[in-house]
Amino acid sequence: MFDGRSDHGPFIEAGIPAGGTFSGAEEIKAAEEAQAYGGAAGVAYDTCRHQACDTLADPNLQAFDEFSDAASHAVATLAQRPTDLTDERAPAPGAPQPPGAGVPQAGRRALS
């Protein structure tokens, strides 16, 4: 969820493209989830998110592994784009290309 209120907010405000993943850390855990995975129902998945207790003292290594895999995949995918990220006409990798796609806009160069 990119609403501009997290770490990516200042980048977006400065006109710098930003991306990321959403863990749902502030969402509320259901009773069924607490029973299946542990923790308490009716509270946020991560009660320390952006709080003083949000430190490196108790990292969730499984989440770190999963999110670093997602970030690596995103970087590799973006690195293979036929045009730069500022070319709004650039289709997603594997998507059909409309006529003129990949042609740089005036003042921009194509990536090769």
Distance from C-alpha of 64 to C-alpha of 71, rounded to nearest angstrom: 10
Distance from C-alpha of 90 to C-alpha of 78, rounded to nearest angstrom: 11
pTM, rounded to two decimals: 0.55
- Please give the pLDDT value at position 42: 95
- Please give the pLDDT value at position 20: 75
Amino acid at 91: P
What pLDDT digit, counting tens, does each position of 48-105 carry? 888 899 899 988 888 899 999 999 998 898 888 877 766 665 555 566 655 555 544 4
Distance from C-alpha of 31 to C-alpha of 20, rounded to nearest angstrom: 28
- Please give the pLDDT value at position 72: 92
For residue 60, the SS3 value is coil
Statement: residue 4 has pLDDT above 70: no
